Amino acid sequence: MLNNKSILIIGAGISGITAAVSLIKSQFTNVIILEAENRIGGRIETVSFANGFIDLGAQWCQGEKGNSVYELCKNEFKFGTTGWLNGTGFVPVASSGEIDVEKILRLEELRQEILLKYDEMKKSKVSIGEFFEEKFYDALKTSQFQDIDEKLADMFLGFWQREFNSLFASTNWYDVSSKLYPILETCEGQQDLTWRQYGFKTLFDIIQKDLPKSIKLEEKILLNKKVTKINWSNEKVIVQTEDNSVYSADNIIITIPLGYLQAHHMNIFYPKLPDSKIKAIECIKVGTLGKVFLEFEECFWNRDNDDFVMYAFLWTKEDLEQIIDTDKEWLTHILGFIKVDSHPNLLEGLLSGDKMREFETYSNDKIISDCMWMLEKFLKRSLPRPIAMRRTKWLTRENFLGSYTYLSMKSADENITSDDLATSIKSKNNKPVLLFSGEATHKRYQGYVHGALDSGKRAAQEIIDFYSSKSKL
């Protein structure tokens, strides 16, 4: 019976691959994955660079306990670590003048305290940016911080805004809901486990290991199949792709990135999706995390020094004013440059915010020149020019239109969470016809790879449970 049920999965990212593996292991063999790109992986994209591999998309396994990615891989792979996301190796550098590191560390402790005020956040009606600023400046008025001057406070606050936007891919922290922020959970353990020189693509090899030897998953994945129409008006769902291929299925799992759904859902689905689903698609926001990798002939930093993981850029107000409204303004969105595990001659810049489109469209030469101008300004010395550069373009790539998602102020106003996006659309006999998965659909782990993986399992399990209950009747 299960062999007769046809299931289409749209998207060969980790959510789609996980769903397929789960279904096949439960005896559903009529499973096909349609992938718009010419590769699998989705927003996990490991590419060759600097005599090894780097990750243009997802990069770290964040947390251990409760992290399904870690649990799946811990006995198969030896992770590395950098220390950055655990707060070590943080080297603050200022655009002008010197930095009192001891004061910065105290402000960092204050930051952590504010972000743990979950009970207050849950009752808040303002953005996380407004919430943080109020608590931050109130604390600075106390005797504990009387030695912190306004200049240093503003520099630190600007850095933390950039760090928050980089971690959450938010365009602006004034658009992130403080009320919904506590919903997100962090798995216990190391937050920056790396895939060393092998890259996140390793996960796809591990996840397929339990499949029966007779099943070749690659034979079930059709590349360059961009879905243009999904007709769910009848018992069988009909899917058409850009090359005019047509497929029918009993159930469809949709793992299309939310950025693409937001731009195209009205044209893809017939009939149109229910209003509640459209509201969820439109209220949850998609942001972009940008990366720029610089390879040097020789490193100019102490690569063996565990006390250095990241150059953290702190801008003075005066220096910011000089660069705003120039073609270098995009640099003010760079959080800093970090060392890359197992790549001794690489630095990686991280950025987010409202200048991502400019970053993605500037020439390679400009990106390199601007980055070196910035590094020399902050490190206050001449530096060698990199021998190679690679940067990301998630916002302008037509099949993605962003990196990952966050819960916006509009989400809070409309009382929308990821659960609303995850809810399947069912037929009259309660069959889950359209199922939705991907990081944007996971309430607790939104934005994480383990959230995407878990959501693929959840969607597959809903199909498995439906047909299991039918077989018992």
- Whether 221 has a pLDDT exceeding 80, the answer reads yes
- Whether 96 has a pLDDT exceeding 90, the answer reads no
Question: Residue 90's pLDDT is what?
Answer: 76
3-state secondary structure of 28: coil
- Determine the Cα–Cα distance for residues 350 and 334; give it in Å rounded to an integer: 6
Question: Residue 473's pLDDT is what?
Answer: 56
Binding residue numbers for FAD: 15, 35-36, 227
Percent of the chain at pLDDT above 70? 97
Q: What b/e readout covers 176-206, taking b as 16+ CB neighbours within 10 angstroms?
A: bbbbbbbbbeebeebbbbbbbebbbbbbbee
Say if CB 39 and CB 201 are below 8 A apart.
no
- Determine the Cα–Cα distance for residues 437 and 272; give it in Å rounded to an integer: 19
- In 380-448, alpha helices (H): 409-413, 418-422
The whole-number average pLDDT for the span 389-397 is: 98
- Whether 334 has a pLDDT exceeding 90, the answer reads yes
Question: Residue 306's pLDDT is what?
Answer: 67
Binding residue numbers: 15, 35-36, 227
Question: What digits encode the pLDDT tens for the residues 116-145?
Answer: 999 999 999 999 999 999 999 999 999 999
Domains of the chain: 2-45+198-282+414-471 (3.50.50.60), 84-189+290-391 (3.90.660.10)
3-state secondary structure of 284: coil
